[in-house]
Structure 1
Amino acid sequence: MRRIIIILFLFVQAFAFAQTKQMSLEDAVYGRYTYLSPKSMSGLQWIDDEHFSFVEDKNIVTESAKTGDQKAVVTLDELNEITGSTFRRVPSHRWISEAKLLFLSSKKHWLIDLNKKEAEYVIELPEKAKNANFSESRQFVAFTQGDDLFITLTDGITKQITNDGGNGIVNGQTVHRNEFGISGGIFNSPKGNFVAFYRKDESMVKDYPLVDFMAREAEYNPVKYPMAGMASHHVTLGIYNIETGKTTFLKTGEPLDHFLTNVAWSPDEKNIYMAELNREQNHMQLNCYNVASGEKVKTLFEESSDTYVEPLYPIQFSKVNPTEFYYLSRHDGWFHVYKYNTDGELVQQITKGEWEVTNMLGFDAKEETLFIEATIDDPLQNNIYKVDVKTGKTERLSTETGVHRGNLSPEATYLIDRWSANEVPGKVDLFSSKGGFERIIFEAENPLEEYQLGENKLVTLKTKDEKYDLHGRLILPVDFDPAKKYPVVVYVYGGPHSQLVTKGWHNQARWWQYYMAAQGYIAFTLDNRGTLNRGRAFETAIHRKLGELETEDQMQGIEYLLSLPYVDTDRIGVHGWSYGGFMTLNLKLKHPDIFKVAVAGGPVVDWSMYEIMYGERYMDMPQENPEGYNNADMSNYVISLDGKLMLIHGVQDETVVMQHSMKFLRECVKQNKQVDFFAYPAHPHNVRGKDRVHLMEKVSQYFFENL
């Protein structure tokens, strides 16, 4: 017994000794994305229904889901020899067949025959090519160069699709500032006979002045920035026929400043389906267009809302019945899967309940079972489920608490589950879709194992009206003593499409919060109304009154902090960036008695100076909602400024333009209010790279010196 006690004592001592390393600022900022980021399986993808591949030790390795047998199919040295390249790591790639891999670099695409260890062909793009989009069916690459669209074929022939780029005309690129789920501007057809592309005319949008101060003589580099309530760009969708070389534009009609999104091809390539949203963003039509003529065939269905409609996902056609498709929509207040036919008739709502489907992973071969990611068990988790299409009955496949992402094999026999949890830095599990858990494929080591970290715990509060739960994360200082009093730094974002508190690794904390905990601060974060994965009512509650309910909810978090005996109630600070900068100003200016110190980065000060697509969705136009815009204008609250406030802004910011900070600073000067300001030359909206350490040192020092 004595020996067991001694062994346990030594183990505890060793564990305590191992966890003595303190989080430095470089660890928190640079290390977060490098040496303190958990290792993962690189290049993980399915080859066929039984085999998957991944990159390990500079080799592409295949593994049998059935037996676990592994085989290295190509090494980095072999790849460099085949392609005549000098890759230092295996480049991006995807399987075309069981023996053929497509490798993609920024300017070349190789199709490699693994059996022969040779390239079947290489498609080489021009030096200035961008937005490359490879067609597997026809084996060409569509890309942009400047503001025009081109394709290059396997024989090396390049064809120019558009000739009108420039002077406000942009082809083949993203539009509507990447809102509405848009991530690209090129849409190759399923059989490779056509290329659909966005054409954006922004000639009517005023040039917004940005200046490059790093040139010998400062250079004027204007951008198009359509502000709320002002002229918006016009978008159309062109269809290029590979055989004829002709382009047909869909006749989407007027008004010209509406939004075109969620582009989807019919399997037979005869039609294009697209969500069309009015500028007010409260009415959406899912429309079908004829590819050959560009004529509108029909409107399949419409969605309207008193707040806004936000189509995010293109329709997915059934592989069993080409006259039916699946659609992910918040039609009933929560993201769920619907089946429609091409006449626009609702066949079935497949999933139901007060929870969100966050991703459709796919179906089995007969489309009798649907595999999804969803928040059924908990809005702080993302789990994997299978759904009986006929009955809607759901069964959870992922077994552990955490945030799970699934990857379904082509015939849905197997499922790969990549996940993390508070104390799990990263795991990859293999499941049989019928038999459940098979085995662990990969398990990451804990890169923070040697660090002494503050206790990280979740808290659940209520909104002021007790209608909703609010989820927060509290990190206590290292060597916490409940008999002492500690200052608090609140980190806030609070905007739509965000969720800062989950049950992923370390409850999704930022390492900077651990750094502050190592310096003797409590770190707190709360997700307020308006944030993600809580349903339409929770998210749209902020409509036309940004900053009001979010601030009210954040103050519920403050009430909780003030109730804790170890919180120094005279030393509370707040920091946030972008929407979080807006929220930082809301909290500091509306509650100066609570927040002693604040650092607002890239803050939205006046929503009338923000861009149309995002700003008008949540606030409507300034002329339609003058009271809401006035109440959300942070310069109107400068009179209440007390204590220490710093604004930080990137000089080249194209998202929240510098004008916001300038307006606020000018008002401070007018009212003789002292405020601190720092600008990051050459940086856009976010300060990245080694300069980010400088940024976070400045933020941290501001709290150290003033809080």
Structure 2
Amino acid sequence: MKYIKKSILLFLLAAMPAVAQQKITLQEIWSGAFRAKGMDDLQSMANTNQYTVLNTNRASRSNQVDLYDFATLNKVGTLIDTKNFKELAQGIDSYTFSPDEKKLLIASNSDRIFRHSFLADFYIYDIAAKTLVKLSEDKVQEPTFSADGTKVAYGKGNNLYVYDIATKATKQFTKDGKKNSVINGITDWVYEEEFAFVRAYDWNAAGDKIAFIRFDETAVPEFTMEVYNNGLYPDPQTFKYPKAGEKNSTVSLHIYDVKAGTTKEIKLGNYSDFYIPRIKWTNDAQALSVQVLNRHQNNLDLIFVDANSGVAKVVLNEQDKAYVDITDNLTFLNDNSFIWTSEKDGYNHIYHYSKAGKLLDQITKGNWEVTAYYGFDDKTGNIFYQSVENGSINRDVYRINLNGKNKVRLTNQVGTSNATFSPNFDLFINAFSSAKQPTTYTLNSAKDGNQVKEIANNNDLKTKLANYAIPVKEFTTITTEKGNELNAWFIKPANFDPSKKYPVLMYQYSGPGSQQVTNSWNDTDDYWFYMLSQEGYIIACVDGRGTGFKGAAFKKVTYKELGKFEVEDQIDAAKVIGKYAYVDPARIGIWGWSYGGFMSSNCILKGADVFKMAIAVAPVTNWRFYDSVYTERYMQTPQENASGYDENSPINHASKLKGSYLLVHGSADDNVHVQNTMLMVEALVQANKQFDWAIYPDKNHGIYGGATRLQLYTKMTNFIKDKL
């Protein structure tokens, strides 16, 4: 090669045109072009130091449940491959192990019901024999193995059944189940949505008893949605939905004796109008734990029930001036003492109680929150958990002794770490991401956190994104004129010029205990925000009062007044942002979905002189229209707190609209009913206000399916470009 002087080479390089940066398109976002790789359905084995992952072979259009060794990360086998079973032509949707891990319960061909619930064809797979047996000719719900792995219980048609694996005989042990009347062992709509569980029954450790909750929905008001499909007439879908202040299901607790074939109701005490948000057998096979919550949700009793005598005893009481959150953190140790999490000192922390309910230790302490409880290692006496001790937008993994001493931080990168521990708690798989780093999976030591080996990364995605003009998400805090310090992030155009004036689109959710300002990798909305930044917009996100992970006082300040302080904070934050030298204060918009739609609606109305435009997707417009469990937790009932409901309802402020407003809803939203949008529309019409709106036929709260999301985000993008 001919020698060229360095100075001439630099001149030539400088004279070359810059490599064109690609622009993100909506088609790319919604086709999954930026989807990060994950470890699907990762499950840690209980009896061997191994884990399984559900993999997909796209070439053969098959699924495999593959087995890996924790210590080496090597794949040691494939438990099942769907290409070998014609019954699984639809693939594996999910799987669970029997307690001895010799069998699998496989769900296939699932039909979604509501947010968490589904019906499916379930199969019992014997790993050693490689045999596949269908559990029931009909699609069923929530099957689980007994403790000895000889039986499977499941729900069907609002009743409960037990299947004997050896004899293939099925016994129905509840008979009164009826649609929109009585449900046995499966939650009703509002329990599923707001207490986040579907299986309302549980096997004991001996496999001889099943505890279950019975829901009598008879007095619960019904809601009907019209589903249009392609038929000549709409199909009315009717289900029980208790709105705020209305009748809930009457719940009762029952225990079925599998051997005797008898069922008895358990008298929990002198409760009225109450919830049973959790049941769980203790390590004592004849002792059942039950959580009973009053309707205001500010008083919770943890009750132990003797399954033989039926005697129920309160062992722990938790009270709060606002509300008590329900979790799945209750864990029983070998001596039947238990781990419990509580906000009673102002922050969510871990506590250790004796089996009689006596406080033994507050294990974690500090002005920070425990965000996940991973488990207890009885070999070392260590508890493993995740917390925000290193900043409320970050997550780290820790271990600490049961006595609250010898705390060790096991993750050292700044961002979000989430752990899956090996059965012996010697190792954990850490899924780490940050706003700058797509998720990486590493094997780490549970002793000191040191990385043993990298499992998987998303370097290909990172390389791909380098070809796009994607700016860095900037984290900061905003202090409002009222003195409230709020977490925030900003996305500015990659070619940001501080001497220019930019329009700003604010995004938020703002619901109680939620968090949108997190140091974690992108979701699909982030890519949309990057796309908008390429069009010259600044995107901002502010977590106001009422959001989570900054202590109970910050979160619960909104109690009885949803939509007051959160809206104040978004308006006040917009005023602060509007004073930035590079922001055009006349061009600030806001958008949100669900609770965020409620918020953006209130902001464009109560902050009419601050916000130029707003988009509200699937918004609540009056909390009177929403369900009892969620709404009353934060608002009490409309009968008790009418002003709290009405003063912060967007419907009652429709006359204040000045800016541009886009209202979006799915007609088959079983969660936030389209009624919210219809009555908001009527209020705007009667106030003689002009606005834009879109209804998506037969779409639920998520508004997706086919090209739906692409069309919706195209609509919202065009609205922003036209109005902001």
TM norm structure 1: 0.91
Q: Give the alignment of 1:403-552 within 5 angstroms.
A: 403-437=416-450, 438-447=452-461, 448-466=465-483, 469-506=485-522, 510-552=526-568
Cα distance change on mapping 1:280 and 1:54 into 2, 3 Å? closer
Q: Give the alignment of 1:224-243 within 5 angstroms.
A: 224-243=240-259
Q: Give the alignment of 1:297-696 within 5 angstroms.
A: 298-313=313-328, 315-319=330-334, 321-322=335-336, 324-366=337-379, 368-437=381-450, 438-447=452-461, 448-466=465-483, 469-506=485-522, 510-689=526-705, 690-696=707-713
- Quote the residue 2:111 is aligned against: none
Given that residues 50 and 65 in structure 1 are in contact (C-alpha distance below 8 angstroms), is that contact kept between their aligned partners in structure 2?
Answer: yes
Cα distance change on mapping 1:307 and 1:98 into 2, 3 Å? closer
1:358 Cα deviation from its structure 2 partner: 1.4
Distance 1:91 1:577 in 2: 28
Aligned to 1:150, what secondary structure does the other structure show?
strand
User: What letter corresponds to residue 186 of structure 2 in structure 1?
Assistant: Q
Asked if 1:110 corresponds to 2:97, the answer is: no
Distance 1:517 1:535 in 2: 33
Given that residues 407 and 415 in structure 1 are in contact (C-alpha distance below 8 angstroms), is that contact kept between their aligned partners in structure 2?
Answer: yes
Relative contact order (C-alpha < 8 Å, sep 6+): which is higher?
A: 1
Cα distance change on mapping 1:484 and 1:273 into 2, 3 Å? same
Given that residues 454 and 480 in structure 1 are in contact (C-alpha distance below 8 angstroms), is that contact kept between their aligned partners in structure 2?
Answer: no
Distance 1:706 1:481 in 2: 22
- Quote the residue 2:61 is aligned against: none
Aligned to 1:510, what secondary structure does the other structure show?
helix
Distance 2:419 2:579 in 1: 41
- Quote the residue 2:176 is aligned against: 164
Cα distance change on mapping 1:218 and 1:181 into 2, 3 Å? closer
Q: Render the CA deviation track for 1:215-258: whole Å, top value 9, x for unaligned.
A: 31223322212111122221122222221221222213554421
Distance 1:23 1:524 in 2: 19
Aligned to 1:637, what secondary structure does the other structure show?
helix
1:266 Cα deviation from its structure 2 partner: 1.8
Q: Render the CA deviation track for 1:73-100: whole Å, top value 9, x for unaligned.
A: 4573xx533x444547666445558984
Q: Render the CA deviation track for 1:252-279: whole Å, top value 9, x for unaligned.
A: 3554421112211022221211111111
Aligned to 2:438, what secondary structure does the other structure show?
strand
Given that residues 99 and 145 in structure 2 are in contact (C-alpha distance below 8 angstroms), is that contact kept between their aligned partners in structure 1?
Answer: no
Residue 143 (structure 1) aligned to one of 141, 154, 164: 154
- Quote the residue 2:50 is aligned against: 51
Q: Render the CA deviation track for 1:375-423: whole Å, top value 9, x for unaligned.
A: 1111111110010222434210012111111111112111221111122
Given that residues 138 and 191 in structure 1 are in contact (C-alpha distance below 8 angstroms), is that contact kept between their aligned partners in structure 2?
Answer: no
- Quote the residue 1:190 is aligned against: 205
- Quote the residue 1:71 is aligned against: 76
User: What letter corresponds to residue 469 of structure 1 in structure 2?
Assistant: E
1:475 Cα deviation from its structure 2 partner: 0.8
Given that residues 500 and 508 in structure 1 are in contact (C-alpha distance below 8 angstroms), is that contact kept between their aligned partners in structure 2?
Answer: no
1:111 Cα deviation from its structure 2 partner: 3.2
Distance 1:271 1:440 in 2: 43
1:331 Cα deviation from its structure 2 partner: 2.0
Identity of aligned residues (%): 30
- Quote the residue 2:27 is aligned against: 26
Q: Render the CA deviation track for 1:464-485: whole Å, top value 9, x for unaligned.
A: 443x531111111243333322
Aligned to 1:221, what secondary structure does the other structure show?
strand
1:38 Cα deviation from its structure 2 partner: 0.9
1:15 Cα deviation from its structure 2 partner: 13
Given that residues 597 and 619 in structure 2 are in contact (C-alpha distance below 8 angstroms), is that contact kept between their aligned partners in structure 1?
Answer: yes
1:12 Cα deviation from its structure 2 partner: 11
Aligned to 2:682, what secondary structure does the other structure show?
helix
Distance 2:702 2:650 in 1: 21
Distance 1:88 1:205 in 2: 37
Aligned to 1:595, what secondary structure does the other structure show?
coil
Aligned to 1:273, what secondary structure does the other structure show?
strand
User: What letter corresponds to residue 45 of structure 1 in structure 2?
Assistant: Q
Asked if 1:282 corresponds to 2:298, the answer is: yes
Given that residues 67 and 79 in structure 2 are in contact (C-alpha distance below 8 angstroms), is that contact kept between their aligned partners in structure 1?
Answer: no
- Quote the residue 2:39 is aligned against: 41
Distance 1:498 1:560 in 2: 23
Cα distance change on mapping 1:14 and 1:513 into 2, 3 Å? farther
Aligned to 2:550, what secondary structure does the other structure show?
coil
Distance 1:43 1:386 in 2: 24
Asked if 1:703 corresponds to 2:720, the answer is: yes
Cα distance change on mapping 1:308 and 1:103 into 2, 3 Å? closer
1:70 Cα deviation from its structure 2 partner: 4.2
Given that residues 149 and 161 in structure 1 are in contact (C-alpha distance below 8 angstroms), is that contact kept between their aligned partners in structure 2?
Answer: yes
- Quote the residue 1:250 is aligned against: 266
- Quote the residue 2:220 is aligned against: 205
Cα distance change on mapping 1:653 and 1:98 into 2, 3 Å? closer
Distance 1:89 1:208 in 2: 34
1:121 Cα deviation from its structure 2 partner: 6.0
Given that residues 98 and 105 in structure 2 are in contact (C-alpha distance below 8 angstroms), is that contact kept between their aligned partners in structure 1?
Answer: no
Cα distance change on mapping 1:507 and 1:56 into 2, 3 Å? closer
Aligned residues: 693
Cα distance change on mapping 1:147 and 1:98 into 2, 3 Å? closer
User: What letter corresponds to residue 412 of structure 2 in structure 1?
Assistant: T
Given that residues 211 and 652 in structure 1 are in contact (C-alpha distance below 8 angstroms), is that contact kept between their aligned partners in structure 2?
Answer: yes
User: What letter corresponds to residue 475 of structure 1 in structure 2?
Assistant: I
User: What letter corresponds to residue 38 of structure 1 in structure 2?
Assistant: A
Cα distance change on mapping 1:557 and 1:508 into 2, 3 Å? farther
Given that residues 98 and 149 in structure 2 are in contact (C-alpha distance below 8 angstroms), is that contact kept between their aligned partners in structure 1?
Answer: no
Aligned to 1:288, what secondary structure does the other structure show?
strand
Given that residues 571 and 610 in structure 2 are in contact (C-alpha distance below 8 angstroms), is that contact kept between their aligned partners in structure 1?
Answer: no
Distance 1:613 1:661 in 2: 21
Distance 1:12 1:300 in 2: 75
User: What letter corresponds to residue 124 of structure 1 in structure 2?
Assistant: L
Given that residues 425 and 446 in structure 1 are in contact (C-alpha distance below 8 angstroms), is that contact kept between their aligned partners in structure 2?
Answer: no
Q: Render the CA deviation track for 1:116-137: whole Å, top value 9, x for unaligned.
A: xx32563422323122233353
Cα distance change on mapping 1:3 and 1:585 into 2, 3 Å? farther
TM norm structure 2: 0.89
Given that residues 330 and 340 in structure 2 are in contact (C-alpha distance below 8 angstroms), is that contact kept between their aligned partners in structure 1?
Answer: yes
Cα distance change on mapping 1:112 and 1:80 into 2, 3 Å? farther
Structure 1 window deviating more from structure 2 (48-57 vs 568-577): it is 48-57
Given that residues 146 and 203 in structure 2 are in contact (C-alpha distance below 8 angstroms), is that contact kept between their aligned partners in structure 1?
Answer: yes
Unpaired runs of 5+ residues, structure 2, are: 58-63, 109-120
Distance 1:80 1:700 in 2: 43
User: What letter corresponds to residue 526 of structure 2 in structure 1?
Assistant: R
Aligned to 2:397, what secondary structure does the other structure show?
strand
User: What letter corresponds to residue 157 of structure 1 in structure 2?
Assistant: A
Given that residues 335 and 355 in structure 1 are in contact (C-alpha distance below 8 angstroms), is that contact kept between their aligned partners in structure 2?
Answer: yes
1:490 Cα deviation from its structure 2 partner: 1.2
